[in-house]
């Protein structure tokens, strides 16, 4: 049995994924972390931690860069929350009086109103569970689609859809009580639409 | 709702130069004093490793930590030498290091609280829970040991949090020493997160103020 020489596979062109310039990467990571945390006082430090991890990691280009950076941001944020819950549950340190970070408006005219709305939005989001909150923030604030979110949070698409539905429901209920958002909430479909009455049978 | 939230996010986003300035400040805080801070911890880590090895060698046999009822007697039997018949019906030899009639070290009196699992060396692992329990019980030495172990964590947040709690527990009883004050000052300027920096600053102010008459 003659063994014909196997054709050599043409070498795949190896494109080493290149991270964008530091300035762009910094802005990208900050935006992504801000979408998750909101106007959190630790936002700058969390974004810096995520940035360090991204620069230290070996990004191989198996996913989109934004998915990869989002994933790092998500894990840094969840780890921070876990630490905070454990720490504060046991050691009641004095509450910080530092101002919320990362809330600025480009247009001074709408500064106060938008700032207030943004703060209230994340105050409401903080009352939604972490997993649901993350999915809502990634979908509704960052504008990602469900498969990408599933990749970032490490869950199935069905789970992500469920979390999105439940998180939105809870958020809508919370915002409906907030005067800042009551107009927007009225546009949303009612949670329990009124039952259609059956016509009376004609005798 | 989705587009509204997204637009609100964009409208309240700080300008790029502000973001870059903030991130630069965070990076500076992260870099400040880090190399100088690391080497004492590295030395302490090496020392802890050596102490751990010495401790492991000092423990007679790790088999002592196995619960008696879980102890497999067949495993404890020495391998039968050829030509030597094992004694039929004889009681199994006690494991090495245990005198006959004495219990293993896992007797009731030596047991740790059920919610803190024992490590192989017999010391509870350094967790926030264990440290909090030790502080609540007033066991300062144990609490300091656990917090120092937590302060050697790779995670900057855990490390600085543990340092802060350790300093707080120290300065509650007395005035802080110059070293502790310096550490507190450093935490207040270059702690891992804003929450830790603010807490350190507040603790520094409390300890700096003169005592009430």
User: A3-36: buried (b, 16+ CB within 10 Å) or exposed (e) per residue?
Assistant: eeeeeeeeeeeeeeeeeeeeeebbbbbbbbbbbb
Does B11 sit within 8 Å of A110, measured CB to CB? yes
Q: Could you report the per-residue pLDDT of B39-82, keeping only the tens digit for each?
A: 666 677 777 777 777 766 665 444 444 444 443 444 444 444 44
| Predicted model pTM | 0.61
Q: HSE of B92 in the Cβ direction (CA atoms, 13 Å)? A: 14
Considering only alpha carbons, which residue of chain B is nearest residue A139?
Answer: B2
Q: Which candidate, B137, B202, B127, B139, places its Cα nearest to that of B168?
A: B202
Tell me what pLDDT residue B211 has.
56
Tell me what pLDDT residue A187 has.
45
Residues of chain B neighbouring A97 (CB-CB closer than 8 A):
198
Please identify every stretch of chain B with a pLDDT value under 70, giving residue numbers as ranges.
1, 31-42, 55-125, 209-213
Q: Which candidate, A135, A25, A143, places its Cα nearest to that of B9?
A: A143
Tell me what pLDDT residue B172 has.
76
A192 falls in which pLDDT band (50, 70, 90)?
A: very low
What is the token pair recorded at B148?
Answer: 């120092």
Tell me what pLDDT residue B38 has.
58
Tell me what pLDDT residue B194 has.
85
Query: What is the rounded distance in angstroms from the CA atom of residue B175 to the CA atom of residue B178?
Result: 9
Q: Which carries the bigger pLDDT value, residue A133 or residue B68?
A: A133
Rounded to 5, what percent of chain B is helix, strand, coil? 60, 0, 40
Residue B100, judged by CB atoms within 10 A of its CB (0-12, 13-18, 19+), counts as: exposed
Tell me what pLDDT residue A111 has.
65
Tell me what pLDDT residue B56 has.
60
Tell me what pLDDT residue B77 has.
43
A67 falls in which pLDDT band (50, 70, 90)?
A: very high
Residues of chain A neighbouring B4 (CB-CB closer than 8 A):
184
Any idea what the Cα angle at residue A112 is, between residues B189 and A142, rounded to 5°?
A: 75
Considering only alpha carbons, which residue of chain A is nearest residue B161?
Answer: A87
Tell me what pLDDT residue B41 has.
65
Query: What is the rounded distance in angstroms from the CA atom of residue B118 to the CA atom of residue A137?
Result: 41
**ipTM of predicted complex:** 0.70
Does B1 sit within 8 Å of A84, measured CB to CB? no
Residues of chain A neighbouring B158 (CB-CB closer than 8 A):
83
Query: What is the rounded distance in angstroms from the CA atom of residue A24 to the CA atom of residue B23?
Result: 12
């Amino acid at each position: 049995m003659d063994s014909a020489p196997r054709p050599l596979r043409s070498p795949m062109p190896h494109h080493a994924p290149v991270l964008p310039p530091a300035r762009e990467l910094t802005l990208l990571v900050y935006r992504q972390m801000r979408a998750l945390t909101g106007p959190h006082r630790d936002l700058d430090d969390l974004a810096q931690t995520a940035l360090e991890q991204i620069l230290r990691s070996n990004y191989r280009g198996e996913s989109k860069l934004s998915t990869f950076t989002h994933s790092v941001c998500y894990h840094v944020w969840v780890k921070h929350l876990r630490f905070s819950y454990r720490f504060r549950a046991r050691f009641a340190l004095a509450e910080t009086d530092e101002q919320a970070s990362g809330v600025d408006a480009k247009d001074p005219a709408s500064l106060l109103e938008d700032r207030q709305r943004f703060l209230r939005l994340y105050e409401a989001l903080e009352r939604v569970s972490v997993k649901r909150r993350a999915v809502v923030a990634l979908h509704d604030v960052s504008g990602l689609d469900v498969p990408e979110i599933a990749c970032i949070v490490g869950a199935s698409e069905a789970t992500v859809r469920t979390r999105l539905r439940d998180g939105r429901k809870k958020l809508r209920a919370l915002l409906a009580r907030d005067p800042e958002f009551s107009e927007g909430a009225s546009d949303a479909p009612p949670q329990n639409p009124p039952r259609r009455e059956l016509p009376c049978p004609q005798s | 709702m989705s587009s509204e939230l997204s637009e609100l996010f964009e409208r309240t986003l700080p300008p790029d130069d502000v973001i870059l300035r903030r991130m630069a400040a965070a990076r500076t805080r992260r870099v400040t004093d880090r190399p100088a801070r690391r080497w004492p911890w590295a030395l302490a880590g090496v020392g802890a490793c050596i102490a751990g090895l010495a401790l492991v060698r000092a423990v007679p046999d790790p088999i002592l930590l196995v619960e008696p009822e879980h102890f497999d007697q067949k495993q404890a039997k020495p391998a039968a030498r050829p030509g030597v018949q094992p004694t039929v019906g004889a009681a199994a030899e006690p494991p090495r290091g245990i005198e006959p009639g004495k219990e293993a070290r896992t007797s009731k009196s030596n047991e740790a609280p059920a919610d803190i699992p024992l490590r192989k060396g017999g010391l509870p692992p350094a967790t926030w829970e264990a440290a909090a329990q030790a502080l609540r019980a007033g066991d300062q030495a144990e609490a300091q040991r656990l917090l120092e172990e937590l302060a050697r964590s790779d995670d900057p947040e855990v490390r600085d949090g543990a340092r802060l709690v350790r300093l707080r527990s120290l300065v509650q009883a007395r005035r802080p020493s110059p070293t502790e004050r310096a550490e507190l000052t450093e935490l207040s300027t270059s702690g891992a997160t804003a929450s830790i920096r603010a807490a350190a600053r507040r603790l520094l102010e409390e300890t700096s103020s003169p005592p009430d008459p």
